[in-house]
Structure 1
Amino acid sequence: MNLLVKSPLRFSLIATVFVILMFFILILLDKNPVIYSSNIIFIGPLLSLFLFFAVKLFRDTNPDGLRFWQGFSIGILYTLFFTLFYSIVLWSDAVLFATDHFDEYRAMIIEKIIAGKDMLVDKMGEEGYQEYLKSGESSNARIIGSLAVNNVIIGALVTPLVSLFMRTSEPKRV
């Protein structure tokens, strides 16, 4: 398999193992893993750290070094692989294990929307607020999709920075 695909696949699987481990730890601590794993404070650094390792592995093993486009490609592939695996973990929690974690997540979102009612009504109007409140009662698939989009956004923001930081200068052609 090409190193350009192998490196992000390997590190996205490793990052997914950390997510699964975190899920079990949070369940043992009687916390909701969907709420905590969706938190940017957890996902952002996890995604960034293993993205860095995937790009670094390619840079260190490729004899020509790393160009920006290669780092960017690795970052996008890593983000897509990780998001896919993360979504599978969330789907497994919702469907295979039939937990109430998503119900608690929905309740938390609705609670936040209700707490900010005055501000939201001022910005959106009463009809907009009611629509927004109904959107808080979304399906598990929509929640998983929303969390997946958040991961893609984080990856798309971090990837250019890591690629720029990790790139090597082009060897001089004689």
Structure 2
Amino acid sequence: MLSLMIKPSIKYSVLCGVFLTGLFFVSIAFGSNPLIEVRHLIFDLAIFFLFIFFAGKEYKDVGNAGILHFWQGISLGIIVFIPAVIIFSLTIYIILELNPTLIDGYKEAAKALQESQRELFLEVYSEETLQKQIREVDLISSIDLVLKTFWKKLFAGFLVTPVAAIILRKKTN
């Protein structure tokens, strides 16, 4: 039964990883920075949900006679999103290492974002703290960006997996 669960999960995991990577590059091509903008979390949630849902649906309908328990949905989701995030992260790491201008673009955008939100920040923190954060942006490396993105995407996957599992579950009569 476990092998029946793994086959659709791996298929959809690879597709999800490729799709996440493609969306990353499309976003950059349209002038958006997916490493900074929060709205990409919403895209991640939707993408993970779709791929987890379709993996679960395939397993439920093709491999398990229309039955999917909650734990199976959770297992499928984890098998889908963790490798997808690893595929995405490794690809982005390689791209960032090969093209350091992407890191420079991130640093510029991060500094611009901090400057644009200066007033909000200064309501809570001091000018010295703001300047320290702006200086720390220059110290960010490609591995820092990849790890930050890795954890954000894992979080998104963990959020939507139970939702997909609940929607797909069907108890035996």
TM-score (norm 1): 0.82
Give the aligned partner of residue 120 of structure 1.
121
Matches within 5 A, 1:43-62: 43-60=44-61, 61-62=63-64
The answer as to whether partners of 1:34 and 1:105 remain within 8 angstroms in 2 is no
Give the aligned partner of residue 96 of structure 2.
94
Please report the RMSD computed on the Cα atoms of aligned residues, expressed in angstroms. Answer: 2.7
What amino acid is the match of 2:74?
A: F
Does 2:12 match 1:11? Answer: yes
What amino acid is the match of 2:10?
A: L
Give the aligned partner of residue 41 of structure 2.
40
Matches within 5 A, 1:10-29: 10-22=11-23, 29=29
What amino acid is the match of 2:162?
A: P
Q: Describe the SS at the equivalent of 2:126.
A: helix
Consecutive aligned runs of 4 or more in structure 1 exceeding 6 Å deviation? none
Superposition deviation, residue 147 in structure 1: 1.0
Q: 1:78 aligns with which of 73, 80, 86?
A: 80
Q: Matches of 1:76 and 1:54 in 2, distance apart?
A: 11
Q: How many residues align?
A: 169
Q: Matches of 1:46 and 1:102 in 2, distance apart?
A: 25
Taking structure 1 as reference, are residues 3 and 126 closer, same or farther at Cα in structure 2, changes over 3 Å only? farther
Superposition deviation, residue 163 in structure 1: 0.4
Give the aligned partner of residue 134 of structure 2.
133
Could you list the runs of 5+ residues in structure 1 that have no partner in the other structure? none
The answer as to whether partners of 1:32 and 1:101 remain within 8 angstroms in 2 is no
What amino acid is the match of 2:52?
A: L
What amino acid is the match of 1:101?
A: L
Q: Matches of 2:96 and 2:43 in 1, distance apart?
A: 20
TM-score (norm 2): 0.82
Give the aligned partner of residue 161 of structure 1.
163
Superposition deviation, residue 160 in structure 1: 0.7
Q: Matches of 1:22 and 1:139 in 2, distance apart?
A: 22
